[in-house]
Amino acid sequence: MEKKLIDESRKYLMNTYNRLPVVIRKGSGMKVWSADGREYLDFVGGIAVNCLGHCHPKVVIAVQKQAQRLLHVSNLYYIEPQIKLAKLLIDHSFADRVFFCNSGAEAIEAAIKLARKYAKDQLSHDKYEIITAFGSFHGRTLAALSATGQEKLQKGFEPLVQGFKHVPFNDINALKKAITRHTCAVMLEPIQGEGGVKMPEEGYLKEVRDLCHDHNLLLILDEVQTGIGRTGKLFAYEHFHIQPDIITLAKGLGGGVAIGAMLAREHIAQSFQPGSHASTFGGNPLACAASIATIETILEDGFILDSCSRMGQYLMNGLEGLKKDFPSIIANVKGLGLMVGMELTRPCANIVDLCLEKGILVNCTAGNVLRFTPPLIVTEKEIDHLIDILEDIFGGLV
């Protein structure tokens, strides 16, 4: 059965992914099962999407109830779950207004448009440039890709959208030098995810915030991967004692259902008026119902965020132990909450394959970084099993 499905996938789908040879058919909590019935422990979590695990009962029930009531009506009308979700996000963030869409890339596109529109409305007609960081990843649509600081991802899609400038992450002096009279915003990931779980140095984001304030620039934080509890707080910016002007969300926002959002302060959001921007499916009733259930579960059960911080540290401690045992293989361990990276001294694709053979799902990013973004409900026992598997694999490589 599984081989047949894989063969048909290779025949009918565009070849845009290097897929692992497994068909995931169902999931529950930290576990998934293949079409052939094999069980896997999931430390990918849909790439930081399934924050409450697979098929969390509260999310499933919310989706079931909403599906029986209303699936789609469009933003030509007011949508009750959308209104409730917007209030929930505003009540627990710095922001005053929300725009809903369907993905992280769409949220980034909305942020880019809002930043430019606000700058032209309130500052100057020639302010349009946005500074981002090398190593960043902001999405695959053309403007989001142009904002992304990875040339390898941009090759073949030129000419890129103009108006983006890239500087080294963690280099405040380079950022200062990059600012011109055309600059309207700085856009950064609090932690670079696809860039290899690269952490901000102490004080860096505070310096960026101050620099933006001094130069009347907007600070956009791309929290598509770090948001919704992933780092042990609802939003990653809370760790760094700053408040942005705009943030983007997606991934964990729907607990497994596709939804994106762009949040902004009131005076900035006012630059979007009817006709400025739109999304047919953005904030649809089904996705909003899933998101409400996800966020309410995280907020109402304070244990989840506390557990995320504790389990993240427990995971990093386990990986640090492996680093001591295998210094020729493991170069560094880094992360925050349950967004953890283990940098290897070699490419890590084969490690992903070996983990799959042993019933563990992990992810490789930036070529040599094993990325762990499990559901926030992961336990010590499950982390111990991961560490044992990795120890066995690394032991066979020495």
What pLDDT score does 153 carry? Answer: 97
**Across residues 280-295, what is the average pLDDT?**
98
Q: Residue 273, Cβ neighbours under 10 Å: how many?
A: 10
Q: What is the pLDDT of residues 212-244, one digit of tens each?
A: 999 999 999 999 999 999 999 999 999 999 999
DSSP secondary structure letter of residue 258: -
Fold of 58-300: Aspartate Aminotransferase; domain 2 (3.40.640)
Q: What is the pLDDT of residues 80-127, one digit of tens each?
A: 999 999 999 999 999 999 999 999 999 999 999 999 999 999 999 999
CA-closest candidate to residue 383, choices 353, 342, 350, 332: 342
Could you tell me which residues come within 8 angstroms of residue 242 by beta carbon, excluding any fewer than 6 positions away? 205, 206, 209, 219
Backbone angles phi, psi at 166, to 5 degrees: -115, 140
Report the share of the chain in percent with pLDDT over 70.
100
Q: What SS3 state is found at 31?
A: strand
- pLDDT value at 398 more than 90: no
Label residue 141 exposed, middle or buried (CB < 10 Å: 0-12, 13-18, 19+).
middle
b/e 163-192 (16+ beta carbons within 10 angstroms → b): bbbbbebbebeebeebbeeebbbbbbbbbb
- Confirm whether 222 is a catalytic residue: yes
Q: How far apart are CA 158 and CA 307, in angstroms?
A: 44
* pTM for the whole structure: 0.97
Domain boundaries, the chain: 2-56+302-395, 58-300
State the catalytic residue, choosing from 137, 169, 235, 326.
137
Could you tell me which residues come within 8 angstroms of residue 226 by beta carbon, excluding any fewer than 6 positions away? 189, 190, 191, 193, 235, 236, 339
State the catalytic residue, choosing from 233, 251, 272, 394.
251
Superfamily (CATH) of domain 2-56+302-395: Aspartate Aminotransferase, domain 1 (3.90.1150.10)
What pLDDT score does 1 carry? Answer: 81
- Confirm whether 4 is a catalytic residue: no
State the catalytic residue, choosing from 43, 169, 222, 235.
222
Higher pLDDT, 301 or 59: 59
Q: What is the pLDDT of residues 302-338, one digit of tens each?
A: 789 999 999 999 999 999 999 999 999 999 999 999 9
- Confirm whether 251 is a catalytic residue: yes
Report the share of the chain in percent with pLDDT over 90.
98
Helices (H), strands (E): how many in the chain? 14, 15
